[in-house]
Amino acid sequence: MRDIALYHGDSHGWIEVITGVMFSGKSEELMRRVRRALIAKRRVQVFKSSLDDRYAGVGRISSHDGSGVDAVPVRSSLDVAEKAHRDTKVFAIDEVQFLDEGIVDVVSMLADRGARVIVAGTDTDFRGVPFGPIGTLLAVAESVDKLHAICVVCGNPATRNQRLVDGKPAPAEGPVIQVGGSESYEARCRGCHELPSISRQQTSLLDALEADPADPVILTHESLKRHA
């Protein structure tokens, strides 16, 4: 993982996003940056959406190797705003996709007043749709790193979260967030991601894509030579 070479610290704030599928190492990367900020003797506050307690319970960000840093559980963007100290130089928020859209304004204001804000979160939900506030955060951030896992089906880079219920691909109509459900997740690539739909949406768009256009302009290597 590359270092944030552009960030020079105390006078100007900025926002970094670490995103990607589940199992792609986002929390590990967040912790790595937090540790480095602590070595640099910055004052750091770490938050974590309290919806997620898969590994170590609320109060700690853990990675799969069992290491961790202490984190304050938060339930909303207002929670983050209320707990943010004015003299904190580095803020880190894990599982940011579970927070409300207000988090975009909160992290922007923290950056505006000079803080470095690092947020980590899953980019898309099990349907492949941008998850909560993450899309807007990607747009306003100074730095974005998209991490990949490995597709458990074919071994290519994984970019999708496959929800399974009783070991079978879950239908698109399920809720985006299921806490304490019986479902499980796998990292998969676009080609191996399965999303059975009960009612097939966007039929006209699919029909348009599947029909051959009457007047296609298809560029090939030869097109370059014509304009050379």
Q: Which residues bind Zn ion (CB under 5 A)?
A: 151, 153-154, 156, 189, 192
Residue 168: CB minimum distance to Zn ion, A: 17
Q: Report phi then psi at 77, rounded to 5.
A: -65, -35
The CA distances from residue 102 to 7, 87, 90, in Å, are 25, 22, 19
Q: Are 41 and 79 in contact (CB under 8 A)?
A: no
Q: Are 182 and 166 in contact (CB under 8 A)?
A: yes
Residue 170: CB minimum distance to Zn ion, A: 17
Nearer to Zn ion, 104 or 149 (CB): 149
Residue 23: CB minimum distance to Zn ion, A: 14
Concatenate the DSSP letters of all residues of 29-77 into one string: HHHHHHHHHHHTT--EEEEEETT--SSS-TTEEE-TTS-EEE-EEESSH
Q: Catalytic residues, which ones?
A: 95
